[in-house]
Structure 1
């Protein structure tokens, strides 16, 4: 599932993993494992108890939610992390035999998570209420503009394999981003600031500063 600003793609797999991909390069950014660690043996078709059934991205593009075979609903940060921000255990503790989670979705405001089950119920979970800082909002807008310019800068859309080959050397992402930054309709001092951050981090538009930054 794509984030709402189209800058990242979140995928879930039957091997208990989630991967966040950057757009438009489609190179992996972050990996998440529902078994708590990278398994030494991937049980693609076995009963590992952590097969993923669905994923949904929050409207604020700061979190995403997964539903798993263990009947837990997990809220993850869209950053490099090895553990979920919050885990809802209510369904996992249920004594109903054969209960499975079918799908997950956010409300437009992002405060509610709706989960459907195999017994035709819709369950609602609340998320933490928070006011986003001005810094976070500005980074979100800049990231959205950069991604849009990156996509529009490509006269011919290469396929995913070509993206992966180019990205492995770092040329595609670096060159496109640097060129795009210079073309952004922003004041010169803002352009200089973005370029300065870019020199310290290869992908600043995937970084959300904390409230204390």
Structure 2
């Protein structure tokens, strides 16, 4: 008879951590950030609230990690099925800047239209406007790392002689991101792949070196 193995506490902790992250995202999407509580997250995740306090100092910290974890899982899934096109591994550099940007902006459209992501993102974005500390965390931990991927790709295009040397990549990326964010926030018109492609095409008219 093989010896009895003790439960793997690290795996059990990881399951609990992900259950807590999932619970936080679902609750903030359902009732908003202000009405989401540590007690509610604990009850939804099936853990004691002291477990949450042992791992995170605040509700905001739980949500920040939940969003980071969500992005990590999405990247892992995309890599597993061969559809990874950027994410935490960077924006692809195939030598065709327009195609690379269309791929990433289309993926962004899909994320913003995903019900599992849209509700929590809207709630956290809204709370970040009225809560400067939370807004700063949102920018530092989630937004800025993604924006830097665009900076890196645009600088590579500059070095390759494709993008004008006088262009500031940090400003140029806002020409790509801001229109999608504006349409998504205001719900003025549908956010589609076709719209993302048009944003890329119009933006590159001002960025690319003219033959």
TM-score by length of 1: 0.25
Q: Using CA pairs below 8 Å that are at least 6 residues apart, which structure has the higher relative contact order? A: 2
TM-score, normalising length: structure 2? 0.26
